[in-house]
Chains A and B, each alone.
Chain A
Amino acid sequence: MNNLLWTRRQFLQGCSAAIAAMAGARLSNLAFANLDSPMAENSDILISVFLRGGWDALNVIPPIAGTDRGYYESARANLKIPTSGTNSTLALDDRFGFHPALAPLHELYKAKRLAVVHAAGLTADTRSHFDAMQFMELGTPGAKSSTTGWITRHLNSIGVGNALIPALSAGSSQPVALAGLINNTTMSSASSFKLGGHWKYIEQQQAALRQMYGSGNSWLHAAGLNTLNAVDTIEQASAGNYTPANGATYPNGSFGDQLKTIAQMIKMNLGLRAATVDLGGWDSHENQGDGGTGYLSNLLTNLSQGLAAFYTDLDGAGGANYASRLSVVVMSEFGRRLKENANRGTDHGHGSAMLVLGGGINGGQVYGNWPGLANEQLYDRADLAITTDYRQVLGELVVRRLGNKNLGAVFAGINYAPLGIAQGTDTGVTLATPAPSAATATPMSGMTPTATPMSGMTPTATPMPGMTPTATPMPNATPSPAPSEFTNQAFLPFALNQVRR
């Protein structure tokens, strides 16, 4: 049974029978036909990086000049990032600079691959981590009733075709953005993604599990079958140890490992369309560091080195130039209070900032209307206001980079107003929300049932007019001591690995 050519449908539906026929024989030499062309135009791979805990956008991208610099410095006597000297800001334009730990990303900014959207975020009125993350990831500010995440709706609306692994959550949990997507793969590393046990019986057990989980229609059967399919696919596609290209060096720790896994999966050409990765620890109520060093700086170093390594790894000439098809977006559930608290930290805020990275991105600019930091310009007299609904940024990527003109299916009720961050066309955009149909989604069951709708939202935005590097890795904290091949770095499910205290 060499060189079986299967479509995904056959794979999903026919596997159990075939395996039974093979009496548990190994699925070797299995190849898959009809993969989407991985190089199809206008079909970027979305990489969504969610910073759990609410990152301090005002110290990540502080104002470097003008009256707002004055407001910033007086509100942040201890935490402010200096504009000159050691550990000073890296200028983005004449108004804003990057935290010095973002040096690797600053290079990508100067190369016009990275764009910044300031004062962007979730417009719903909440300072709750958990509400805010849920709203953002469902893509429905103020409402929790959706059973599908925004990425799920995007994938359902374009159809994932024959892709074997259409979506990947790097890590140990499936984020809400992918809620309701049955055939998502959640994986920390490809090399350990297999069953263990007695060598003589593993394959038979695996075949038996395929029979068991393949012979029912419940959410549990679907989850088990999806797991088995993912195990088989990875086993077939994985070519042993992975060596990043172009000398890319990922930072130590789970974030770097997870980005590396995504890069590996992209190169396997399994039809990956979307991947998510979480980085936690941003809830810096105390001792977040100051003067461009310390806790926040370490987090940013990890973020920055990881993304830069990822981009480098996938950047290459000709057919290997995956970076030209990457759309990486970085977001967090909210920013933090303008005024520092007494514990050299910051409390929950509102307006945030987003980063967008990729070959088709009009980088090297800071986008968004800057609302200002004078007291009356703040949200609730305390936080950076929001002038760009985060969905506008995501929406522009969906339309211009991800090959999906059916924006209404992803973000119902959105008033599309692209900022010009992404290259591509808006021709054919439709904002109509399709009637729910069985074909578009397969929810596993409701999310948390209780919902308290909150006030609405206000989109708006427009582009704003439009610099240098170093850093070190930060290992991820693991609670239980002692390593082993089974230990996993950050297995703390449901998103926010470490919304630290």
Chain B
Amino acid sequence: MNVEIIALNRMAFGLRQGELDAFRALGNTDDARLNAYIEQQLQPNNILDTECDNKLTQAGFTTLGKPLTQLWAEHYADNKKEYSFRIAPIAETRKATILRAVYSKRQLQEVLADFWHNHFNVFGWEGYAQHVWAHYDRDCIRAYIFGNFRQMLEAIATSPAMLYYLDNYRNSRGGPNENWARELIELHTLGAENYLGVKPQNEVPGYSSGAPVGYVDGDVYEATRCFTGWRVNDSTYEKDVTNTGTFLYYDAWHDRFQKIVMGRNLPPDQSQLKDGRDVLDILAAHPGTGRFVCRKLCRRLIGDNPPDRVVNEAAATFTAQKDAPDQLRQVYRVILKSPEFKQTWGDKIKRPFDFAMSMLRAINTDITFQDDGFFWNYDALGQSMFARRPPDGYPDVKEAWTNTTSILQRWRLTTTVLGGSIKGFSTKIVEQTPTNVTTPNQLTDFWIDRILGRAMDNANDRAEVVRLIAQGKGNDVALTSAQITERAPRAVELILMSPDFQLK
């Protein structure tokens, strides 16, 4: 597959008018163009993003810039306000996420924001999260996308959204709750691939030298103790606690005695926060974390079953650069510049979000969000935004998205959007079609090129599109404008439903 098609489908949410040409102008060879595109996308702040900025401004969001304490005071603590106002921080973030995914030129950043939201999954529509979601999205996820994993981990660990979601806000020495510690290790850092189950810590290979190869339940319990007292300023009546929503280390709840985590002795009475920070240090530095996180990144950016070679190369960088302020940018560079990246195609199906965003980009839908109609339809695809209940994030393998419902619902979304029944989602197919494009063959080729940027894999698939437009008349006979108005959107729907548009 052409590198530009690979890059725009896996580093971006698909093709949008003009972006293929821009990519092709980046150099004289495939490698030169790809490298230039990668370097450009790795520095999102250097990319002018006027169209997206304007879209965000026009949308009139009011919560996205509020600091945590303001979100808490206005949207959580003041519980007299209407529900819609109280959840505006997540409702607006959800819309902004779509506008960015569709209109931003910083596409890699948006793809990776989606990745990290899944990696550090929080069900956003309950508890503290819904009121402070703009903070979680902005200060905990997006602030670190191109930065340092260890720093990101601490931002997450101290966020009210995560503290509530995984119950650590109530984890105390008198009443330990191991939910956060377990998922931190199993889902955020070492991963289940490094879980050795229920057995004594000292039976893990490498334990005696302070470098156990994996973790056991004992490590989860000890880590739970380390995080006792990591909570939220969420009270109006407790001594030493404010109701500001900020992170609070509450010494009275902390377990002061010594702990053993991953073969390391943490002495009693360490200074405030040190036990928990030590756990984050240990986990972020463990080579197993590098492999686990990098395998997930490769699964997202390359294919469902990424080759070990590129995983290992990325993991080596992840671990070697664990203290670098741009550690993650370096890791992405390794993956994106690997031979595996440009040699793999079609081992992956677009997930529903990916599919929907790439559709809106391909057909240049103008989005102004009159109501939540898009979400009512989109949610049927099975990947409601910020709404994954379990902490593992939405699955990133084809098996999860090729069942009959998932396929059928994505087909249905194309006709719903093109049918124009979603308020504030306007798609002008005829206006985008040049006036000299009038025959079934011409219409088919114009829209296949616009949507896919390439010929269809199977020539017969193209013939089906032509047939739909021609309606039994000649393939080279010009249609009337009324016929084009009725049929061109149907042809576009069919291209969007075709096998070619599902792959990445």
Contact = CB atoms under 8 A, between A and B. Distances in A.
Given A286-B170, A484-B373, A491 B381 contact: yes
Contacts, number: 267
B433 interface: no
Contact of A493 (B197, B382, B391): B382
Interface residues of A, number: 92
B45 interface: no
A219 B398 contact: yes
Contacts of A169: 403
B379 A286 contact: no
Interface in B354-409: 371-373, 375-377, 379-384, 386-392, 394-395, 397-409
Interface stretch (B152-160, B171-179, B264-272): B171-179
Contact of A208 (B172, B406, B458, B494): B494
A158 interface: no
Interface in B161-203: 165-167, 170, 172, 174-179, 182, 186-187, 191-199
Contact of B499 (A184, A196, A212, A379): A212
Interface stretch (B108-116, B234-242, B462-470): B462-470
Nearest to B83: A481
Interface in B109-138: 123-125
Given A125-B197, A197-B490, A286 B167 contact: yes
A482 to B, nearest CB: 5
Interface in A402-451: 444-451
B372 A343 contact: no
A492 B124 CA distance: 14
Nearest to A380: B198
Nearest to A226: B404
Contact of B401 (A129, A343, A493): A493
B304 interface: yes
Contact of A343 (B175, B182, B199): B175
Nearest to A202: B415
Given A126-B198, A208-B494, A341-B177, A220 B503 contact: yes
B498 interface: yes
Range of interface residues on chain B?
35 or more
A491 B165 CA distance: 20
B458 A215 contact: yes
A216 B499 contact: yes
A212 B497 CA distance: 10
Contacts of B401: 493
Contact of B384 (A186, A200, A480): A480
A444 B403 CA distance: 11
Contact of A496 (B176, B373, B389): B389
B202 to A, nearest CB: 16
B195 A131 contact: yes
A416 B503 CA distance: 44
B410 to A, nearest CB: 10
Q: Pick the 8 closest A-B CB pairs, nearest first.
A: A342-B175, A197-B415, A186-B403, A125-B197, A223-B402, A499-B390, A498-B389, A479-B387
Interface of B: 123-125, 165-167, 170, 172, 174-179, 182, 186-187, 191-199, 214, 217, 220, 295, 304-305, 346, 349, 371-373, 375-377, 379-384, 386-392, 394-395, 397-409, 411-412, 414-416, 418-419, 458, 460-461, 464-465, 467-468, 486-487, 489-490, 493-494, 497-499, 502-503
19 contacts: A126-B198, A127-B182, A186-B405, A197-B412, A200-B486, A208-B468, A218-B346, A220-B402, A223-B403, A223-B404, A343-B167, A447-B399, A480-B375, A480-B387, A482-B371, A486-B379, A488-B380, A493-B400, A496-B390
